[in-house]
Amino acid sequence: MKLTELFRGEKPRLSFEVFPPKTDTTFESVRAATEEIAALKPSFVSVTYGAGGGTSKYTLSIAENIMKTHGVPTLAHLTCVSSTKETVRERIADIRAAGIENVMALRGDLPPETAGSAPARDYRHAIELVRELKETCPDLCIGGACYPEVHPESADSVQDIRFLKEKVDAGCDFLTTQMFFDNQLLYRFLYRIREAGITVPVIPGIMPITNAKQVDRALKLSGSFMPTRFKSLVDRFGNDPETMKQAGIIYATDQIIDLYANGIRNVHVYTMNKPDVAAKIMENLSAIIG
């Protein structure tokens, strides 16, 4: 099923993200976790893709398994920054062969050890991958990434939104946001992109922070602003894993309820292969998402 069909519905919906294993030895445990997450019947499951390509073969097998075993629509991520044209063409053929209908077209980030040196540079920005997908597979539903707090490499929000508009015009059917911890940032972003003429559905991405160690990594990765309310929570509960987990899930649930209350219908949760966290959030929202 194409995600654009889902996004047309009026009902509040919740989707989840999982990531593939890094090695063969962890494949079975990761697959079991992703199956537990899919068994919760989210509206769809997205499966990330390693920019270095190392975990790429697992992205499709996990996405295909979720779709075929659980009947849950999947969104397979694909990055291009460290790939050749030939590799990308092969990956697209694999996506078609697996029967995947939804692809998240991403640039990805070069691993630090190769930044500045010269790995494959057939692609510079996600827009090139979006164009290629649109040209070669016009029937695919294509997603793109967006950044309510501006991509860390962008000079400012004006430039960021200008390039985002070009990417959407090249063929994105929807956008998913980077994580954020203050919903006001999302509402301001939505206002600005709508003013700029970007009209495709925007799916907010929410990251439940369930342990203190995650905080630095998440903030570094996303460049997200940490609201005082969230900082107090981590300061107060960060040393106690059980209470931090509970508080983090409640904080994420609270963000999602506020998004639904403000008219957002589809929310994506970065569940990080944690079925218990995904299940708890679903339970917290059971009456709302039905």
Judged by CB, which is closer to ligand FAD: 204, or 238? 204
Cα dist. 212→17, 268, 279 in Å? 20, 22, 20
Q: Report the residue from 3, 66, 75, 106 that binds ligand FAD according to the rule CB under 6 A.
A: 106
**Judging by beta carbons within 10 Å of its beta carbon (0-12, 13-18, 19+), is residue 208 exposed, middle or buried?**
buried
Minimum distance from residue 62 beta carbon to ligand FAD (Å): 12
Judged by CB, which is closer to ligand FAD: 57, or 125? 125
In contact, 288 and 254? CB cutoff 8 Å: no
Q: Report the residue from 49, 58, 189, 230 that binds ligand FAD according to the rule CB under 6 A.
A: 49
Confirm or reject binding of residue 234 to ligand FAD (CB under 6 A): no
The H-or-E segment that residue 77 falls in is: strand 74-79
Q: Looking at this protein, which amino acid is placed at residue 17?
A: E
Q: How many residues bind ligand FAD (CB under 6 A)?
A: 22
Mark residues 172-201: x for contact with ligand FAD by CB under 6 A, - for none: ----x-x-----------------------
Can you give the three-state secondary structure of 147-202, one letter per residue? Answer: CCCCCCCCCCHHHHHHHHHHHHHHHCCEEEEEECCCHHHHHHHHHHHHHCCCCCCE
Helix, strand, coil percent content, the chain, rounded in steps of 5: 50, 15, 35
The reply to whether 166 belongs to the active site is no
Minimum distance from residue 136 beta carbon to ligand FAD (Å): 18
Judged by CB, which is closer to ligand FAD: 38, or 161? 161
**Among residues 17, 101, 132, 149, which one is catalytic?**
17
Confirm or reject binding of residue 154 to ligand FAD (CB under 6 A): yes
Judged by CB, which is closer to ligand FAD: 146, or 215? 146
- What residue ranges bind ligand FAD (CB under 6 A)? 48-49, 51, 77, 79, 106-109, 125-127, 145, 151, 153-154, 160, 163, 167, 176, 178, 205
